[in-house]
Amino acid sequence: MAYGNAAFAALSDPTRRRVMERLANGPRAVGEIAEGLPVSRPAVSQHLKVLKDAGLVSDRHEGARRIYAIDPKGLGAMRAWLDQFWDVALTAFKAEVERAANDEKEHAP
């Protein structure tokens, strides 16, 4: 559950969403990801660390370079979305159940 919320928080940032969009096209090194983005390369590295900690991105070494990649099917993000979605839905469910239970009590003989 912590995983889902961390992923959701990670993706609430527009720059990190742009990083994810880039990685959706295939694995990239930091320099390639940073190209054309309005933030510095160290900032991109920081964003990648957040995405990695949230379980949305993995990395591997290729020689001296570090290559970042995501699950190309988007399942990590899909799961994060569902996790957050069910939180909202079940909170609404709880409120409605308890409202109904209260009604029953009031109308009990």
Please answer whether residues 66 and 58 qualify as being in contact, where contact means their C-beta atoms are separated by less than 8 angstroms: no
* Cα separation of the two ends of the chain: 42
Show Cβ contacts of residue 50 under 8 Å, excluding neighbours closer than 6 positions: 10, 13, 16
Closer CB to another protein, 4 or 34, in the complex: 4
The nearest distance, CB 105 to another protein, in angstroms, is: 10
Closer CB to another protein, 42 or 67, in the complex: 67
Closer CB to another protein, 40 or 91, in the complex: 91
Element (H, E) at 47: helix 41-53
Residue 52 as a binder of another protein (CB under 8 A): the answer is no
Q: Is 16 left (phi over 0), alpha (psi -120 to 50) or beta?
A: alpha
Q: Which of residues 72-101 bind another protein (CB under 8 A)?
A: 72-90, 92-98, 100-101
> Which residues contact another protein (rule: CB under 8 A)?
1, 3-4, 8, 11-12, 14, 17, 20-21, 24-25, 27, 55-56, 58, 60, 69-90, 92-98, 100-101, 104
